[in-house]
């Protein structure tokens, strides 16, 4: 597995019809991320048998309650579990104050360091440069400052052609080959990495577009991603409500996906007015056939 997305919550504004508010668990080559943390997120994590101890980074798109009200409970759970490894949170200005006030008045001194990075809601910004992937935030169009997130895997090591390996090829040589480096043996023989390697595995990308009005300006950021999550709170028949609340329709999400030439579209953040989501799916598929509902428990995996 290269990159996977597990949907923990798909409901907009409030839990309804068995749906939870926004939260997604992302695994990228063994590193775990949480994007948004609506109410009940940690219960969903338990339900789907995900190890909370593996969590390294949390990204909160904006400060509407349905996207972060589960965060404090999750932090306190990690504290009670005696976590000692740092936890890095990326969020809008003010989120650090919200967390600090809760800790202050509960007289809580966390067992682990809590590191906070403030998002830039005005321009695409590289916010995490991990050894295996990058995360870039980018501005969305909503009632309050809001960011989407773009995860891109970095180029992967070359594969090794095992049929060409002999006893003289040491583990040190193989490690060099994977990094596109030649190797010189103890007797001075040059082993060219190109003779022993195969093309690297494909890299993947995932874009998360949280609450946003229809905004074609994001297309250049998310161009040709493998998997796009775009909120689709309303049907096109309710476009007036979408415009009033600065949300998108399923049709508008599909238009963005088509314009950006993405591979697959995920729909989410559904209004409580819709119990049956098939109408939203059908509306999107008319424009972008490879669309799917991002419902609780669904796992979308990107692998070669």
CA-based end-to-end distance of the chain: 8
CB 229 within 8 A of CB 266: yes
Q: How far is CA 271 from the centre of its chain?
A: 21
> Could you tell me if 61 and 229 are in contact, meaning their C-beta atoms sit under 8 angstroms apart?
no
* Lookup: tokens for 35: 């994007």
Which one of the listed residues 27, 49, 56, 66 is annotated catalytic? 66
* Alpha carbons 177 and 194: distance in angstroms, whole number: 8
Is 182 annotated as catalytic?
A: no
Asked if residues 279 and 291 have their Cβ atoms less than 8 Å apart, the reply is no
Question: What are phi and psi for residue 226, nearest 5 degrees?
Answer: -75, -35
Answer for the pair 241, 234: CB distance below 8 angstroms, yes or no.
yes
The answer to whether 206 and 226 have CB atoms below 8 angstroms apart is yes
Tokens of 146: 């809001």
Catalytic residues: 66
């Amino acid at each position: 597995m290269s990159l996977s997305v597990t949907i923990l919550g798909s409901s907009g504004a409030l839990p309804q019809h068995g749906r939870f508010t926004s939260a997604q668990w992302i695994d990228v080559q063994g590193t775990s991320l949480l994007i948004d943390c609506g109410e009940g997120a940690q219960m969903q994590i338990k339900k789907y048998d995900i190890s909370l101890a593996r969590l390294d980074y949390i990204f909160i798109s904006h400060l509407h309650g349905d996207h972060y009200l589960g965060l404090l409970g999750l932090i306190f759970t990690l504290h009670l579990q005696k976590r000692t490894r740092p936890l890095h949170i990326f969020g809008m200005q003010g989120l650090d104050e919200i967390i600090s006030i809760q800790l202050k008045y509960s007289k809580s001194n966390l067992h682990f360091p809590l590191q906070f990075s403030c998002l830039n809601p005005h321009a695409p910004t590289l916010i995490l440069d991990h050894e295996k992937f990058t995360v870039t935030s980018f501005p969305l169009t909503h009632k309050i400052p809001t960011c989407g997130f773009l995860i891109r895997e970095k180029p992967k090591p070359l594969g090794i052609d095992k049929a060409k390996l002999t006893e003289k090829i040491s583990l040190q040589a193989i490690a060099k080959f994977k990094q596109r480096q030649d190797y010189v043996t103890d007797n001075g023989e040059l082993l060219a990495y190109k003779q022993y390697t195969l093309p690297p595995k494909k890299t993947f990308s995932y874009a998360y577009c949280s609450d946003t009005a229809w905004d074609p300006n994001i297309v250049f950021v998310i161009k040709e991603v493998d998997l796009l999550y775009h909120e689709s709170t309303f049907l096109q028949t309710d476009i007036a409500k979408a415009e009033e609340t600065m949300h998108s329709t399923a049709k508008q999400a599909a238009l963005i996906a088509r314009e950006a030439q993405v591979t697959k579209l995920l729909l989410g953040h559904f209004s409580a007015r819709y119990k049956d989501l098939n109408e939203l799916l059908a509306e999107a598929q008319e424009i972008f056939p490879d669309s799917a509902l991002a419902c609780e428990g669904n796992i979308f995996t990107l692998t070669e």
